[in-house]
Amino acid sequence: MKYLIAAFLSSALINILIIRYLGFQVLCDTCEGIQKFHQRPVPRIGGCSLYFSALLVAGLFFLAGKPFAGDFLKVLLCALPLFLSGLLEDITKRISPRWRLLAGFVSGALVYGVLSARIARVDLPGFDRLLQIPAFSLFFTAFAVAGVSHAFNIIDGFNGLASGVAMLVFGAYAYVSFLLNDQFLVYLGLIMLFATLGFFIWNYPFGFIFLGDGGAYLLGYISAVLGILLILRHPQVSPWFPLLLVIYPVWETLFSIYRRKFLKGYSPSVPDAIHFHTLVFRRLIKLTFGGEMDTLKKNAFTSPYLWIMQMFCVTPAVIFWRNTYVLMFCVLIFILFYTWLYFRIVKFKTPRFLIPFRGGRVEESR
């Protein structure tokens, strides 16, 4: 418990220091831009609190002689290329998506080389045979790490959204790791959960500090690495367990690429304001609570909708973590539900069950 308290307190303290002493313009996220939904400049280097609090706990593990201290530190060191690329973008706003994606591949390759962690199976016979080829396994592992890392950055649009989803994911990993008596993965999941909580209390609901790209990438990276290590170390765990845990940010990313490239006809790297969480902000909050609510309150009410959706993934995942077919079915159901719901909201046909506080007929204005 003392390590969890250390992770939480150190993260919270670092965030206080950033808010109090480093909240100057160069490190702030401005209010201008198609994906900006806050009303004042806000420091966007909250990811530093996650990384440095985890490093502190790694040092405590070494001092205590924990047998997994070396592996814990290796996980953090492998994250450096990706984390630094995001942090530099947060500070300079000049690091292109291509370079940040490359940094994600480098961190994924380091996981393969330094930790000997690789994706060796996905419970699809033909694909599993390809994963026995070292070069293909290396590429797919790096691709998965980079993809999940960037997926968490895609959903980092409102106060508490990405960090809340990440805490649910880390908690699920820690629970299953506890059932398997894997002390290293239990601590990795819980340390990241409590470090994220130390950030969350300053981010939600008032948005005093943001994760930034560095923080969002780090949350996605740890989520991916935890899944890779869990299925590698414990063959009884279905590889679809970690996929179901992160299917919301992953499908949001894949669907956004499809929507931008094929439905809108422009580059997938061009930002837009019609992500699912943006539709919740612009449509559902207005329909549920009326159009007079100020921006900060609308921002705060947005994330709980997505946390609930994430819980519909986490709950069956932790119940059926051994059963590949059930997990596959849940992944498919989520994809179909998300896609159906997205198009319903876009077409101003929001399902009635999403606006429970409004009585009678609800008319959506275009």
Radius of gyration of the chain (CA): 20
**Rounded distance between C-alpha atoms, residue 335 and residue 331, angstroms:** 6
Q: What are phi and psi of 238, to 5 degrees?
A: -70, 135
Six-digit token string for 234? 């414990």
Instruction: State yes or no: 159 annotated in a binding site.
Output: no
Burial of 266 (0-12, 13-18, 19+ CB in 10 A): exposed
Burial of 263 (0-12, 13-18, 19+ CB in 10 A): exposed
Burial of 153 (0-12, 13-18, 19+ CB in 10 A): buried
* Cα 96–chain centre separation: 20
Task: Examine residue 205 and say whether the peptide bond preceding it is cis (omega within 30 degrees of 0).
Answer: yes
**Rounded distance between C-alpha atoms, residue 217 and residue 195, angstroms:** 15
Instruction: State yes or no: 153 annotated in a binding site.
Output: yes
Furthest C-alpha separation in the chain = 64
Helix H or strand E encompassing 28: strand 28-29
Binding residue ranges for Mg(2+): 153, 213
Binding residue ranges: 153, 213
